Structure 1
Amino acid sequence: MQIAQQSTTIRNMIIASAIILALSLGIRHAFALYLEPMSHHFGWGHQVFSLAIASQNLIWGLAQPFTGALADRYGSRIVVAIGGLLYMIGLAIMAVSSTGILLNLSLGLILGIALSATSFSVLLSAIGRMVVAEKRSMAMGIASAAGSFGQFIMLPSTLMLIQYFGWSAALLVSAVLVALILPLSFWIRSPVIGKQKAFANKADLTLKQILNIARHHRPFWWLSLGFLVCGFQVVFLGIHLPGYLIDHGYDAKTGTIFLALVGLFNVIGTYGAGWLGDRYCKARLLTYLYGLRGVAMILFLLLPLSVYSVYAFGIVMGLLWLSTVPLTNGLVANMFGVKYLSMLSGMVFLTHQIGSFLGGYLGGLNHDLTGDYYYVWLFSILLSGFGVVIHFFVSDHSALPKQE
């Protein structure tokens, strides 16, 4: 009876986490659609909106270890609920943002903090604590995959709202949808430090001891640097590919379909990555993923540009998009256990967001200075090579001392 009840609790938590991720990340990915209309309406260059997006990603990363630590200490439920409330406030202020300062306050600061509380590090860590190690990557992959479906739904829906009602009204509708995160947060269950010991790390070490081990554990830092590559690439493509296509004579619909295809096939990619991560070396899988990203970008730039090449690129990148997330979080759990998983995953995610900041900002800067994205495309491809090499120095083995 107790086992059946626990299985139901885990299933409900995975479903709730998936819906929260679908709302949080689906709306966040749709921010790319606001670049052109807001920049045109207020006479901004691409750099103004790009800076706000870049700031959001940096603040998201800087806040992540702290929101993760709060989730470890007080439980994920309260952190997710507060994050949902901040998300609503941020979208409402963005809807009336007429200056770069207001845009950075709403889209940058408030939404950056909100995303740190309603995205992967907090929710996947909660799932990781409740699921046995043998099924952990798979459970994380299911939540990530289902959450990715939100990108597929929200992008065309947001484009339709912008076209028929304007960008400000579209943001207000998004704020109403985000309100669903508050009731969904009550389904999130996660053991709290000091109240349960079932999820303690293998050596039951203190936070200070774990941080000291992490500080000297080189594979942890190689993994973090590899995640920087992921952040740079997904934000550069997610924010600037629609603008790249507009520069080449395509309308906003083409870029939206590209991003929707990324979201749809990301469902398959993240689910598949979670399944493979329970069966093969996660670090080697990450090596293949980054290598394939680089090959896909090279082929996209070399082949003649057409709607077919754009959509094919969207399908391929969707399979590789967030497949890194369950594998990376699974590696952190393997290295240090699950007791402080939210905070440690947040530390790794910080480097992802530093890459996101650079991908978002440098894309806009490159475009404003040269009128194209050539140098950022080149740098993104070079980063794929770096991602391949760096993960040869990462292993799946535990970093904790063996118990006597």
Structure 2
Amino acid sequence: MGLLPDGASGPSFSGKESDLAGLSWREARRTRTFWLMVSAFFLLGASVHACVLHLAAMLTDRGITQQTAALASSVAGAGLLLGRFGSGFLLDRYLGSRVAMCFASGAAVGILLLLSGQSAAAFAGALFAGLGMGAEGDLIAYLTSRYFGLKAFGELYGYAFGTFVLAGACGALLMGIGFDKTGSYSVPLIGFLAAIVVAIMLFSQLGPYRYGVQNVNEGRVGLKASAAAS
């Protein structure tokens, strides 16, 4: 609530962009970190969207009943919700790039389970894919603030999240095209599995945060730079 001891004054803040630590859009787009992060989110987003949106059709094509396929879709929805809560919990305790690698690895396991075509494995695969899809929205916002600060957070987050949405559309389209061309979901699933592996490698290159939390005791507003931007 901003309560301070009697006689103490808090840090002044005019609300201007210059009061916030971080990079502008022009500066951020010239960094290697920005393109690593956006590329990783694009690959992961395309993969999890493709799996979740085509889940029911994928399972019924493999001989699983419509009722079971519908239930698996519900499990994916539950995984999405758990991914939102779980990613927030983990981001408060561990390095964000490692959390992203963890959820991406789970999504990769989910694709492997979906490739098996078995009912029990399909439920677990749907859960893991949903977890990855749910976590990504939180990860985008958090990593954007930690690697680029708040100076142009709204604009940078808009570009990053827009990439995630575009990835979802591309992933669903490519999954459908892959099925039409090959008559099976196996080939596109293997392709998306490879895409997630690349995304994990990209996340591993992000390194430590460049901006930390606000330090009120020193009278600084916004995010404090903890390392030089790449």
TM-score normalised by L of structure 2: 0.77
Cα gap change, 1:384 to 1:362, in 2 (>3 Å): same
Matched residue of 1:321: which SS?
helix
Matched residue of 1:196: which SS?
coil
| Aligned residues: CA RMSD | 2.9
> How far apart are the structure 1 equivalents of 2:19 and 2:155?
14
Cα gap change, 1:199 to 1:287, in 2 (>3 Å): farther
Which of 173, 179, 190 is 1:361 aligned to?
Answer: 173
User: What's the offset of the Cα at 1:402?
Assistant: 5.4
* Structure 1: gaps (5+ residues): 5-194, 204-208
> How far apart are the structure 2 equivalents of 1:329 and 1:391?
15
Question: Does residue 239 of the first structure (1) align with residue 53 of the second (2)?
Answer: yes
User: What's the offset of the Cα at 1:325?
Assistant: 2.1
Deviations 1:81-123 (A, max 9, x none): xxxxxxxxxxxxxxxxxxxxxxxxxxxxxxxxxxxxxxxxxxx
Question: Does residue 386 of the first structure (1) align with residue 224 of the second (2)?
Answer: no
Question: Does residue 201 of the first structure (1) align with residue 20 of the second (2)?
Answer: yes
> How far apart are the structure 1 equivalents of 2:225 and 2:62?
58
Which of 241, 255, 259 is 2:73 aligned to?
Answer: 259
Question: Does residue 318 of the first structure (1) align with residue 130 of the second (2)?
Answer: yes
Question: Does residue 298 of the first structure (1) align with residue 112 of the second (2)?
Answer: yes
* Aligned residue in 2 for 1:90: none
Q: How does 1:347-358 map to 2 (within 5 A)?
A: 347-358=159-170
> How far apart are the structure 2 equivalents of 1:362 and 1:269?
24
User: What's the offset of the Cα at 1:197?
Assistant: 4.3
Which of 94, 104, 113 is 1:280 aligned to?
Answer: 94
> How far apart are the structure 2 equivalents of 1:347 and 1:234?
19
User: What's the offset of the Cα at 1:283?
Assistant: 0.7
> How far apart are the structure 2 equivalents of 1:281 and 1:301?
31
Amino acid across the alignment from 1:265: G
User: What's the offset of the Cα at 1:234?
Assistant: 2.2
> How far apart are the structure 2 equivalents of 1:312 and 1:378?
17
Cα gap change, 1:310 to 1:271, in 2 (>3 Å): same
* Structure 2: gaps (5+ residues): 4-13, 212-222
* Aligned residue in 2 for 1:92: none
Q: Percent identity?
A: 23
8 Å CA contact 1:331, 1:396 repeated in 2: no
8 Å CA contact 2:52, 2:126 repeated in 1: no
* Aligned residue in 2 for 1:398: 210
Q: How does 1:141-290 map to 2 (within 5 A)?
A: 196-197=15-16, 200-202=19-21, 210-290=24-104
> How far apart are the structure 2 equivalents of 1:402 and 1:243?
48
Higher relative contact order (CA 8 A, sep 6+): 2
Identify the structure with the greater helix proportion. 1
User: What's the offset of the Cα at 1:401?
Assistant: 9.4
> How far apart are the structure 2 equivalents of 1:320 and 1:199?
35
User: What's the offset of the Cα at 1:199?
Assistant: 10
> How far apart are the structure 2 equivalents of 1:269 and 1:355?
18
Deviations 1:141-180 (A, max 9, x none): xxxxxxxxxxxxxxxxxxxxxxxxxxxxxxxxxxxxxxxx
* Aligned residue in 1 for 2:187: 375
Comparing 369-378 with 391-400, greater Cα deviation is found at 391-400
> How far apart are the structure 2 equivalents of 1:318 and 1:353?
15
User: What's the offset of the Cα at 1:287?
Assistant: 1.5
> How far apart are the structure 1 equivalents of 2:18 and 2:57?
46
Matched residue of 1:216: which SS?
coil
Amino acid across the alignment from 1:249: G
Alignment coverage as a number of residue pairs: 206
Deviations 1:337-376 (A, max 9, x none): 2343222112112332343232111111122222222221
* Aligned residue in 2 for 1:327: 139
